Amino acid sequence: MTDASPTPDLPVVRLVPKAEARAIRHGFPWVYANELVTDRRTRKLAPGTIVRLEDAGRAPLGLVAVNPASRIICRVLDRDADAVIDQNWLAARLQRALAHRARLYDQPFYRLVHAEADGLPGVIIDRFGDLAVVQPNAAWADVMIGPLVAALQDVTGVQTVVMNGTGRTRSLEGLDEKIEIAAGAAPDGPIPVPMNGATYMADVMGGQKTGLFYDQRPNHAFVAGLAKDARVLDVFAHVGGFGLAALAGGAASALAVDGSAPALDLATQGAVAMGAETRFQARKGDAFDTLAALGDEGQRFDVVICDPPAFAPSKNALDAGLRAYERVARLAAPLVADGGYLVLCSCSHAADLTKFRNASSRGIGRAGRRGQIIHTGFAGPDHPLMPHLAESGYLKAVVYRL
């Protein structure tokens, strides 16, 4: 590990007079482009440069990473304007994050770093035993990927680190897309992940995002508690998140629906790995078309789960996204047996809980069904919520009994 060096002379950027410096002092982690003086010198700073941030009166606010190519032009790294952002600093943040997860889980399978909420803006790290997947979704993390990977290995002892540089967030930062092995050797195939009594197969090199969604863990567990002897339908199943958890909870059967054949193949491998293949079926197809077809076939299930991708990834997409969530509920509700359960999920931060719940309830009503809400779930504690940043509390799961 590197030794801390004297604080270097860093460039300085400054808020415009009308910007609200108090928000930064109280913990807000971002500065938007219209809040910063963007003179020629600032515009010439390379994306990811670490600079000192001052308010309009030249009082220091801390160290930030600047990216003139992004609408989020600054991300706060440290309130101490004299801190040194190096491998030691990264290791301290990682150690703090690890201490929290080590209290939560008895096996090393979890989200280790949840971006701003863990003090590493734009950085996602998911751990799969002795392998970790890093998503450097901010320019500063892309620049410092070497020290970040070294600190990660030193703190956690992981042997292999995959750098997954894909996704919408990186494009908003002006960063290239790439997936590469940053340390160690590429895995031979999918990695078995034990969770809630089920076994999931994570494709860390070619799957969605890091290869597995840990955020739904507590919601999977809740559904597993409803699933004994139940007929379960898992729509937008990905690698079988809810369906496999239901099988671990004693479900009589689980039908997984997804548009991705590779994802369903991983779900099937998971069912085999946990000895539940005779109770598991996969059906490839568009989720909306398949929901309608199952209704036409007269199919009924005791538990139906719909966990779609983000239909409202931004405010501009909110209205269309809410209509899509309403449509999901309208198509899914008729498939639920009387007294059964409908689980509807959203990972759209632009659609808050009230808007999502209202859209879902409208869809259920339009289907001619009535229900009671028995549970509302959120992401697990390895996905901490930053109080100042609504975007970090994106996941909602609403459970209805119809």
What are the mean pLDDT values of the chain's consecutive 10-residue runs (402 residues total)? 56 92 92 95 95 95 96 96 97 98 97 97 97 96 97 98 90 89 95 97 85 95 98 97 98 97 97 98 98 97 96 91 97 98 95 96 98 97 90 90 98
Asked if 269 and 338 count as a contact pair (C-beta separation under 8 A), the reply is: no
What is the rounded distance in angstroms from the CA atom of residue 353 to the CA atom of residue 336? 23
Structural domains of the chain, ranges and CATH numbers in brackets: 12-78 (2.30.130.10), 87-183 (3.30.750.80), 193-401 (3.40.50.150)
Write down the pTM of the prediction: 0.93
Element (H, E) at 235: strand 231-235
Beta bridge partners of 164: 179
The DSSP string of 326-349 is HHHHHHHGGGEEEEEEEEEEE--T
pLDDT of residue 207: 67
pLDDT of residue 9: 85
pLDDT of residue 112: 98
Q: Active-site residue 347, yes or no?
A: yes
pLDDT of residue 1: 45
Distances, alpha carbon 231 to alpha carbons 250, 281, 373, in Å:
10, 11, 20
pLDDT of residue 287: 97
What is the rounded distance in angstroms from the CA atom of residue 135 to the CA atom of residue 145? 10
- DSSP-based three-state secondary structure for 233: strand
Of the candidates 74, 306, 345, 347, the residue annotated as catalytic is 347
pLDDT of residue 5: 45
What's the burial of 206, exposed, middle or buried (CB within 10 Å: 0-12/13-18/19+)? exposed
Element (H, E) at 318: helix 318-332
